[in-house]
Amino acid sequence: MNRSKWCVRLPFLVCFFLSVSQAQIDEATRKLSHDIFQQLVEINTTDSVGSVTAASEAMAQRFREAGFADSDKQILGPNDRKQNLVVRLHGTGKHQPILLIGHLDVVEAHPEDWTTNPFQFVEKDGFYYGRGTQDMKSGDAIMVTTLIRFKNEGYTPDRDIILALTADEEGGKSNGVEWLLKNHRDLVNAEFVFNSDGGGILSDQGKPVMMTVDATEKLYADFRLSVTNPGGHSSLPTPDNAIYQLADGLARLERYHFPFELNEVTRAYYERMAKVETGERASDMKAILKNPPEQAAIARLSRDPIDNSTLHTTCVATRLNAGHANNALPQRAEANVNCRILPGHSAEEVRQELIRVLADPKIAVLYVNNFGEVFDHAPDRKSLPPPPLRRDVFAPLEKITSEMWPGTPVVPDMATGASDGIYTTAAGLPTYGITGIAVDRDDIRAHGRDERLGIRSYYEGVDFYYRYLKAVTSE
């Protein structure tokens, strides 16, 4: 049936339904994937009050019901609240295993900021709402659904498929991927890794623009800007005030842009995108690829937050804390500045640049590690180079993408956030962020309020992952 023809004649809702049911999944799969998604969203897995363990146990129960042996699913982790789940579907052993990773934890969500309850799975206006609908309980639910479908069918892949659902990607002290690699490498060792926390279809008003694959990522770093002062009585202000000094420095940082820079992956990205985009965006993309690049084109593209983050290291103030009493001059003023650093640069290089930009020796620039510990020197480690663009990963991806979203290019991409891929990459496992979930470029709500995912997008993601993973594991 030609869907677009029907859509002209049928009322919008029916038309929408036809769109939804376009994904080639049966009712049982639809229900299974829906129920798992709902279950995960409704288990609070925030670091503050949630439990990743509860989510791991719920998924382990699903695998048990699907007939996975106890020896093929393990719950393990460093403490009671941060237990990870590792599940193995056995293959023929023709190739080395593949590891699928997904984090179960979510960013905090304050119900008073939301229009729905963030820990309730709400269906509204063609979307599923709830914390984790984009980042990344949808991806978790899809991976669980896919393995259960494989098991139900009696499908034997040509390599073991290992799924690790883990804790503390978003923060916290017990990162599950790091912990598993360190303590149970044998359980998760693989030839390469698919991370569902990246990649996917970028769409514009529901129309797919490209299938992105996260093939490298920026380095994450926090810095504490700190000004101290003897303080005094607020009835007798002095010229050197910790709050004003910090604020002036932050204003200089706000106006500063880190240099424009392309690498192998982002260059390939813009080469492909220049053919997809139209008008000024397309010509700007061509102009930045020139040698030398055109400055006006860089400036125009950089107005888009995604392009800006792709073309530059970024540092932005995210927290502020100062003073100790309403009637006292501040003895201390501090800000957190969060940086996302382009591959090939270290956190220490960026710290030195911050010192230069802040241009005030009274503002100390300290590096803050994952545990909140503070240092007057940042790591010199540069983010790792991209893994090879493997044929056994990309050829099936091109194939399934062209079947499901004809004409949509597959574009290797640099993740501008940071994900658990840093741990697998650092452990020598080539890692690719791949999903079939589509999100509009102006509807990226991960970590934000009213996080949501299009219902149609979700079921297409379910359909895609099954077809793609099967293609990768069956030649």
- Residues of this chain that interact with Zn ion (CB under 5 A) are 135-136, 197
Q: Which residues contact 361 (CB under 8 A, 6 or more apart)?
A: none
Question: Closer CB to Zn ion, residue 102 or residue 386?
Answer: 102
Q: How far is the CB of 29 from Zn ion (least distance, A)?
A: 24
CB of 445 to Zn ion, least distance (A): 12
CB of 424 within 8 A of CB of 225?
no
CB of 396 or CB of 454, closer to Zn ion: 454
Nearer to Zn ion, 200 or 430 (CB): 200
Closest distance of CB 163 from Zn ion, Å: 16
CB of 197 to Zn ion, least distance (A): 4
CB of 442 to Zn ion, least distance (A): 19
* Identity of the residue, 126 or 171, whose beta carbon is nearer to Zn ion in the bound complex: 171
CB of 107 to Zn ion, least distance (A): 8
Nearer to Zn ion, 39 or 195 (CB): 195
Q: Which is nearer to Zn ion, 447 or 470 (CB)?
A: 447
Smallest distance, Zn ion to C-beta of residue 296, A:
35
Pick 135 or 214: Cβ nearer Zn ion: 135
Nearest CB to Zn ion, comparing residues 47 and 277: 47
Q: In 10 A of CB 282, how many CB atoms?
A: 14
In whole angstroms, how close is the CB of 310 to Zn ion at the nearest point?
18
Residues 6+ apart with CB under 8 A from 387: 192, 215, 216, 425, 430, 431, 432
